[in-house]
Amino acid sequence: MEIYIWQLDNHSEFWYENQLHMPAHYQISKPGVTVGYPPEWTVRKRMIQITKIIEWDMGHRVPQHRHKCRNPHGHRYKLELTLSGPVSCVKGSSQEGMICDFGDIKTLMLESIHQKLDHCFMASEDDPIFSDLAQGKGQDLNILLVPFVPTAENIVLWCYERLHPILPTNLSIVRLRLFETPSSYAEYVVTQ
């Protein structure tokens, strides 16, 4: 097996089995080169996946739905974010042995998703009832107008669009799974 090493700086080194998983703008060493790590560490340098979960309460409605979801209602949403990345082997670093600190991921998710959606009502811009309320006719109502019908499928894509640009460059989103109820979820699997 060939091992490629990329360097973010003079101190950070991560191993990849092939160049396909490696960010193109990083310095590449020669195939098969090791840098003083014992051979048994090669398992630790592979891409690892971690998952962080947040929950929030939010209302919505699906205006043209043929059943009861056309009525305003709410859910306890649960978002699972699965990330992939190399394990840090920077000696003495706060993140040594991790791909990323779960607390850092939680902070990103809370700031970009939870703070926007918790105890709000998500409505389509085309929804005549809630677009009027959101445009000043409803006093102090937390209504988020979006350019789509707020189904679980569209909301999980909205979450992806908010999270993808703010993640550290060494991490990739593998999957986002949004539970609308304990037994129903929409999942976005990122394909490369």
User: What is the DSSP track for 101-119?
Assistant: -HHHHHHHHIIIIIHHHTT
- In the chain, what are the domain boundaries? 1-42, 46-189
CATH placement of domain 46-189: 3.30.479.10
Report the Cα 18 to chain-centroid distance in Å.
25
Question: What per-residue confidence (pLDDT) applies to 170?
Answer: 87
Nearest one of 127, 133, 116, 145 to 62, comparing CA atoms: 127
Question: What per-residue confidence (pLDDT) applies to 138?
Answer: 56
Question: What per-residue confidence (pLDDT) applies to 136?
Answer: 66
Query: Per-block average pLDDT, block size 10, for the chain (192 residues)?
Result: 42 43 43 44 67 97 89 95 91 86 96 97 89 68 92 98 94 97 97 78
Question: What per-residue confidence (pLDDT) applies to 19?
Answer: 43
Q: Any idea which residues carry the catalytic annotation?
A: 69, 119, 180
Question: What per-residue confidence (pLDDT) applies to 27?
Answer: 41
Question: What per-residue confidence (pLDDT) applies to 4?
Answer: 45
Give all strands of the β-sheet with 73-86 in edge-to-edge order.
143-146, 120-124, 47-60, 73-86, 172-181, 184-189
Question: What per-residue confidence (pLDDT) applies to 94?
Answer: 86
pTM of the model: 0.75
Q: Yes or no: say if 87 and 109 are a contact pair by the CB < 8 Å rule.
A: no
